[in-house]
Structure 1
């Protein structure tokens, strides 16, 4: 089963925009009401009632036999709520059910992690609604038909592939306009890529956005910093407006548009860079870094701006489409290891040049780290039992071992002939 998500721009008319905005606010009310019921149930059972005076005075106590407000119960209460609140009838029933589902997904995620309790959504914070299923294909020409909304103009810049069925549609509100994310699926299966072709290691960083083991270095890009001057002016203007006024809303939309512009430029750059890497090699190795930990350091703002985690996801997506094998290796000590002789060479963060005292191999620090990543990728494949198979990573197909290529750079011509090809 193959699942894909396609994003398109839609152009609803004034009446449809008004309906969508009303639906978003209605879903926000349903979400907050369900969350309030969940929090009240938890607060009424957090301690014995005869020992906690604050619970009797300031908390809403639910009866002891009141069941936990789970997804099934709150979903079944929606028909009863429609009789009390007629406003709920204007929203498709499945959209309300998916709103309750969103809350309980967040609740289940909180229980697994132990932190990140769901929070109430303020005015305007509900940005998307989901239509979970369709009996027939909702796309007809340059229009998409949504329940209780009718036909909406859509910019179908990329046609739906043959053999794929539309499963669900998510409508998203952004400052620049409205978008739909269409989930399509098919029964066809695409085999996973195998190691083949040229191997490269990729090291990401803030000084240079990335460096490969072949010596290619992509300069650092700071999208947020480059456009922060304009964003700072817009935010200063917003702070001087009266909240909930029309001028405040106009200024807020300008700030949101600027954030959208920064995010769009970053994602476009990352997609182009991912395709460039896939043009370079058939097998790519990355570090298994948790970039959330990097974002907590003193360079957290620049780390978040670089969005390395998003780039890794995009590279996996592009590599799967183009048949490029992508794998992760252990990141510990890649910048402190000589890729030529594999000894430890301690370097500070300010040291940007790798110079090995043992084998005299010298190269840029980021490139040396990428070469070590490629070394570990070779070793990882060999330990998995792939080295003896008839695949593109064999010596006869790819040329020479990874280490031999860099060892030759640190040896004289007279010593090259006596090199033993051993990892």
Structure 2
């Protein structure tokens, strides 16, 4: 079963926006109520069987069972009788809220840390319609139960053979920008791409956003740092307004819109770069770095501004969609090994940006050497018969023709042409 998500911009009316904001607030209250019952049950079972603490204990009858997903789903009908706000929201939307809370609980148990927390005001930003009998999108209109018809910017049609299974409504920029995430399914099975063709290794960093094993560089885009001065002015204005006043809300909205702009430009850059890399090669290898840990250092702002974790996830998705092989390799000592002779050159400081091998005399930039080492590790992990060269329809290696356009003016094109001719003869 193939499942895809298409994100479309929607334009609800003022009345519909008010209704959807009320729904989000109701869903937030329901989420917190389910979590409160869960925490109360756990607190009542914390004390020892033979003794109690000196302070106090939360006492609950031993006959009360654990508030599981099915149990709270049954209780939802009783809660709607006592709280009429729950009746205003579609029944399947409220059921999904209970499911969402228990999915968070199950993820916490599997992870071992990160206990679910209460959602404060404004932190619950989406709700889901989990199923539809018919396609709700027709002629630029999406029909949602109890909400009605909403204008949708359907910039790409739903492919033939796919059915709409669910629609998630997402609020951004403090409830002023709305999106519909449409989940579509098709009864087909798409296999994962196999390793084949030309491969490249990618070294991700701060000085250059990435450097490939072919010494192709992508300069970093300063998404947050370019608008940091603008945010500083807007946030200073927010701090001078009376909290929860109308002027304070207007100032907060301006800040939220700038953050939304930063997020969109960063994601667009990641998509474009991912497609650029897929045009270059058939196998892409990256490091398995934990970017959450690296973002806690003194370069945390720069690491978070680059969004390297998001880029790696999007790159893996683009590779799967375009039939390219994607794999993560071990990141240890990639900057300390010479790609020519595999000698260990020792630890390099961050200010040392040139790789000089004392054994073979090979010299290049540090990021280029790391990219070559990543490629070598990736090729070792795939079968030998998968490393054959893949010729495109024009008779050149896959990605080579595009790489010529991306190289700098000082690139040695003669070596590249000889490389292509040799590959043709061997093929």
TM-score (norm 1): 0.89
2:384 maps to 387
Give the drift of 1:221: 2.2
For the pair 1:367 / 2:368, whether they are aligned, the reply is yes
Name the SS for the 2:296 alignment partner: coil
Task: Render the CA deviation track for 1:161-189: whole Å, top value 9, x for unaligned.
Answer: 00001111110001151101011111123
Give the drift of 1:391: 4.8
1:256 maps to 256
1:327 maps to 327
1:236 maps to 236
Cα pair 1:319 1:326 within 8 Å, conserved: yes
Distance verdict in 2 for CA 1:393–1:371, change over 3 Å: farther
Q: Which moved more, 1:370-379 or 1:41-50?
A: 41-50
Aligned mates of 1:137, 1:161 — CA distance in 2: 12
**Equivalences, count:** 391
Unaligned runs of 5+ in 2: 399-411, 413-427
Give the drift of 1:198: 2.1
1:214 maps to 214
Aligned mates of 2:245, 2:358 — CA distance in 1: 67
Distance verdict in 2 for CA 1:195–1:114, change over 3 Å: closer
Q: Which moved more, 1:247-256 or 1:163-172?
A: 247-256
Name the SS for the 1:254 alignment partner: helix
For the pair 1:157 / 2:152, whether they are aligned, the reply is no
Question: Which of the numbers 131, 136, 139 marks the counterpart of 1:138?
Answer: 136
Task: Render the CA deviation track for 1:100-127: whole Å, top value 9, x for unaligned.
Answer: 1111111112122222111111112211
Aligned mates of 1:388, 1:179 — CA distance in 2: 46
Give the drift of 1:398: 7.1
1:17 maps to 17
For the pair 1:351 / 2:352, whether they are aligned, the reply is yes
After TM superposition, which residue ranges in structure 1, 4 or more long, deviate above 3 angstroms? 388-394
Name the SS for the 2:122 alignment partner: coil
The 5 Å alignment of 1:168-317 reads: 168-175=166-173, 176-317=176-317
Give the drift of 1:48: 3.4
Aligned mates of 1:140, 1:147 — CA distance in 2: 15
Aligned mates of 2:272, 2:76 — CA distance in 1: 46
Aligned mates of 2:240, 2:227 — CA distance in 1: 21
Name the SS for the 1:371 alignment partner: helix
Cα pair 2:195 2:387 within 8 Å, conserved: no
Task: Render the CA deviation track for 1:196-223: whole Å, top value 9, x for unaligned.
Answer: 3322110000111000011111112221
Give the drift of 1:20: 0.4
Name the SS for the 2:264 alignment partner: helix
Aligned mates of 1:242, 1:356 — CA distance in 2: 62
Give the drift of 1:64: 1.7
Name the SS for the 2:385 alignment partner: coil
Cα pair 2:198 2:387 within 8 Å, conserved: no
For the pair 1:71 / 2:56, whether they are aligned, the reply is no
Aligned mates of 1:379, 1:242 — CA distance in 2: 62
Distance verdict in 2 for CA 1:35–1:376, change over 3 Å: same
Aligned mates of 1:86, 1:237 — CA distance in 2: 39
Cα pair 1:195 1:392 within 8 Å, conserved: no
Cα pair 1:195 1:393 within 8 Å, conserved: no
Aligned mates of 2:69, 2:325 — CA distance in 1: 40
Aligned mates of 1:149, 1:326 — CA distance in 2: 42
Q: Which moved more, 1:353-362 or 1:38-47?
A: 38-47
Name the SS for the 1:388 alignment partner: helix
1:27 maps to 27
Distance verdict in 2 for CA 1:201–1:389, change over 3 Å: closer
Give the drift of 1:339: 0.3
Aligned CA-pair RMSD: 1.9
Aligned mates of 1:230, 1:303 — CA distance in 2: 20
Name the SS for the 1:116 alignment partner: coil
Name the SS for the 1:55 alignment partner: coil
Cα pair 1:44 1:55 within 8 Å, conserved: no
Question: Which of the numbers 87, 90, 100 marks the counterpart of 1:89?
Answer: 87
Distance verdict in 2 for CA 1:389–1:253, change over 3 Å: closer
1:417 maps to none
Cα pair 1:43 1:55 within 8 Å, conserved: no
Task: Render the CA deviation track for 1:350-392: whole Å, top value 9, x for unaligned.
Answer: 11000111111100000000011111112111xxxx2136954
